[in-house]
A and B are shown apart, each in its own frame.
Chain A
Amino acid sequence: MKIHKSYYAFIALFFLISCGHSLKNNEEVSIVNEKDQDPLEPINRKIFEFNRVVDGLILEPFANLYNMTVNENVKLSISSFLSNLGEPVTFTNDCFQGKGEKSLEAFSRFMINTIFGLFGLFDVAEKLGMPRHQEDFGQTLAIWGIPSGPYLVVPLLGSSTPRSLTGRLTDFYLSPYNYYMVHYDRRQYIYVRLGMDTLVKRAQYAGDIKNFRENSLDFYAAVRSFYLQNQRAQVQDNKVIESNSPSADAFNVDEDDSKFLE
């Protein structure tokens, strides 16, 4: 009961913080200056450095080891199994967002992959023309008109915003897997899943992350830009993306700088 009370208080607090930033963070604004969305930059940068150290010491070596030792097909099955566990959360959020067809697809995917794909080890549904999509409560809140709030870097969790953090916590409670494990006092399996999920994703994108880090002038600013742009795109289901990114007109060139300086 105590946990529930503090959880709701936490959500309420983040709602308040989010609403406080509603004027600054209008999703309708075409191209948002990412720096304006980061009033906590000095603190965020410190936490970011801490996370980088943890990543370098623990996550990256394990991810590299995983990539080197595990067979590609096994990796695919592990990733598919973990994704299948998240399907009920996607289904629930599709319902919350009023996406009837998508929710039906998520539900069908879960049933097909659980029954015919050996608890999700094989993504049979994708072969039947139902590709995986992901929805979380953070996106649901965005659809409901809740602004994202300032950019945050959370210890161990990484980039976030109050809205997506609230979403993450809510998704935890929406997951039947977590509910089952808590109810039958098998909490350790929640941590196993969380750890595996983090490791698999880190391993999948190990090359991209390394590339990204090596080619960045300011890794923190690059990650922030990537996260915020990506979040805006996801909220719009990657559809109306033209309004979020610079159009070709933004690249009109002044061939002669001396004329510009006249």
Chain B
Amino acid sequence: MWKYTLYLFFSTIISSHVLSSNAPSEDIQSAVNFMQNLGDKVSDIVRQKTGDEKRSSLKEIFEHDVHHKSIAQFVLGRLRRDLKAALAEAKDDLEKESIKKRIQDALDEFYKAYKKSIIRTYLSSFENGYKGGIFKATHGRKSGEDGVTVYSTLDRQNGTPPLNLHWVLKPICADDAHQCSPDNKHWKVVDLRVENVSQAQKEKDETESIISKHRGNCTQGVRRLCAVVALEKLTEEHKRLNRAWKEKGSISTTSPSSKTAA
């Protein structure tokens, strides 16, 4: 009897261990495959397409496969908490509602501008910097509770050593399902580490610098709205950069055709 109980006990432990360790390794492999496919798609576009066509194809990929909102919230960091604190300082319900509305509008505007910013950053890197490179997703490792870091290299074949690109991916469930199943799960990029330098962390540091600059300029009269004002200014800065890039892009994409016409 004891023998069978022990046998049952150990087999339960072993099988549960095997089952639990199988799931993450499948996840890791699927994340590596996802990244390799994404890299191949980008390489093909960079090689085969030109001008506006190339830009719009890449844009489509970065819109679909990068999780902009989570990066935006990470980048904002403690400013989001400060925005919440601004609500607590409202004198009455009426003011609270109006501040809440202003915060939500400011956040929505920021998300929109920041999404364009991320696409701009990724586009300008992949459009020109990674031309003709060979992309290889090598392996993956679990990151946090449900994420995976995929390690890859990009050999630019220009004499510089291959670039190490590490992608942090998170599974996003379709249909707002609470539990992701393999059928409704889709990987999204939340961070790219170029030579171990986290782009999201870099963006966060830049954002903090901009926010502290604008908070420093905040006047006494609107002290409790300083966080909101800083967020609005930050959005303006993003919009300014996006506009400048778009103008520059339209010049560079129109110039070859005008040359041909000439």
| A215→B196 contact, CB < 8 A | no
What separation, in Å, do the CA atoms of A191 and B145 have in the docked complex? 52
Q: Is B225 an interface residue (CB 8 A)?
A: no
The interface stretch among A88-96, A104-112, A162-170, A236-244 is A236-244
Chain A, residue nearest B148 (CB): A248
For chain A, the count of residues having a C-beta within 8 Å of the partner chain is 48
Chain B, residue nearest A226 (CB): B197
Chain A, residue nearest B205 (CB): A225
Q: How large is the interface on B (under 10, 10 to 19, 20 to 34, 35 or more residues)?
A: 35 or more
Chain A, residue nearest B169 (CB): A248
A252 with B70: in contact, given A35-B205, A211-B125, A215-B120 (CB under 8 Å)?
A: yes
Interface SS, A side: helix
Q: Which residues of A contact B149 (CB under 8 A)?
A: 242, 248
Q: Is A55 an interface residue (CB 8 A)?
A: no
Q: Is A72 an interface residue (CB 8 A)?
A: yes
| A34→B205 contact, CB < 8 A | yes
Q: Give, as a whole number of angstroms, the nearest-CB distance from A212 to chain B.
A: 9
Q: Is B208 an interface residue (CB 8 A)?
A: yes
| A248→B206 contact, CB < 8 A | no
Q: Which residues of A contact B129 (CB under 8 A)?
A: 207-208, 211
Q: Is A246 an interface residue (CB 8 A)?
A: yes
Q: Give, as a whole number of angstroms, the nearest-CB distance from B165 to chain A.
A: 13
Chain A, residue nearest B125 (CB): A211
Q: Which of A35, A233, A251 contacts B208 (CB 8 A)?
A: A35
What separation, in Å, do the CA atoms of A41 and B145 have in the docked complex? 37
Q: Give, as a whole number of angstroms, the nearest-CB distance from A53 to chain B.
A: 21
4 residue pairs, one from A and one from B, having the closest CB atoms? A248-B147, A249-B144, A233-B196, A221-B209
Give the interface of A toward B (CB within 8 A).
31, 33-35, 72, 75-76, 79, 131-132, 204-205, 207-208, 211, 214-218, 220-222, 224-226, 229-230, 233, 238, 241-242, 244-255, 257-258, 260-261
Query: Can you give 20 A-B contacts (C-beta < 8 A)?
Result: A31-B201, A75-B159, A205-B160, A207-B128, A215-B245, A217-B234, A220-B209, A225-B201, A229-B197, A244-B198, A246-B200, A247-B143, A247-B147, A248-B146, A250-B200, A251-B74, A251-B168, A253-B69, A260-B80, A260-B84
Give the interface of B toward A (CB within 8 A).
67, 69-71, 73-74, 80, 83-84, 87, 100, 103-104, 107, 120-121, 124-125, 128-129, 141, 143-149, 158-161, 164, 166, 168-170, 190-191, 193, 195-198, 200-202, 205-210, 212-213, 234, 237-238, 241, 245
